Chain A
Amino acid sequence: MCLAIPSKIVSINGKKGIVDMGGIKKEVGLDFIPEAKIGNWILLHTGFGLEIISEKDALETIEAINEAYHVMPDEY
């Protein structure tokens, strides 16, 4: 039930934003992430943005994991 979906903010009007979920546009509450900006990827749960997803952290995490397990970046 705590499933939350990454979505991209395409517009903001006050504390409401519109996100793009794979082509579907949906209004969401940005009350818990007032610092969110257009273009941010956010974690969406029951109509509310819960956190801004850090693409930088995502890249750093996978780089660190690949390094720890000796996987080359292009090794698939």
Chain B
Amino acid sequence: MKKSLENRIGAGYSFLAPAIIFYSIFFLFPVIFSLLVSFKKWNMLIPFTKAPFIGWKNFLDLLKDELFLMSLRNTLLYALLTVSITLTISLFYAIMINKAKFSVFWRFIYFAPVVTPQVAIATIWGYLYNPNNGLLNAILRFFGFKGLNWLTDPSTALFSIILTAIWAGIGGSMLIFTASLKNIPQEYYDAAKIDGATGFKEFWYITLPLLKPTLLFLSATGLIGAWQVFDLPYMLGRNAPAKSVMTVSWYTYETAFQYLRMGRASAGAFLLFVVIFVITLIVLWIFRKGGIKGYE
């Protein structure tokens, strides 16, 4: 009996082994290694073992670096605005499309940006934002307004990038909302109608509470992704003053691979990890307050 149990445990671990090995090599080891790097002054050009240990200096230097603090502020702003606005608009579109004819067609149209590479999106939006020949300024000027320096003016550059990110992100969230909406039983709405509920009350008391698990999932994954954002700000914001558009991932990349300050870059990556972890916990706490209701 005991031997049979041991065999079964052994078999279990052997099935788990590929995943454990994979995660150990490609996740656990890099995480532990970069934590060690964050306490050293290392430029990758000398052996890691010869790099001097400098304690918390990398972390302290980061907290004194105005550019890092501004990149934290920019990333926070980017994350909060993109996630909240994207979710609001995509929920609105999902509800509209759910009731509309040709919903597959509309889903395809709104989902197209999600499968478009970010580099292509950045290039196209770069043309749209061109202050002299771009479409957006042409529209503004047509209505008698002054054109904007969308991507070079420090007061508009980050918001222009956020606008692009919202446009690019709506489709993905909308698709998940549409799937969740289809799962809400029609009986709830029928019963509410009998009780005299209007469209808004149906949304507020039935749709929204039952979409809470989806909202939790999209908020948590959206915030995690937004905190790690690199490509759009890097591609669109390079001509703007760095303090107005730089994100933490961009800062980390530049510090590591252009300045070869691997220790400081790793410290930045760890601070980013802590921030994402705390924010994810807060999101979980907010959504779980009062329980997450399912509908089955």
The reply to whether chain A is a binding partner of chain B is no
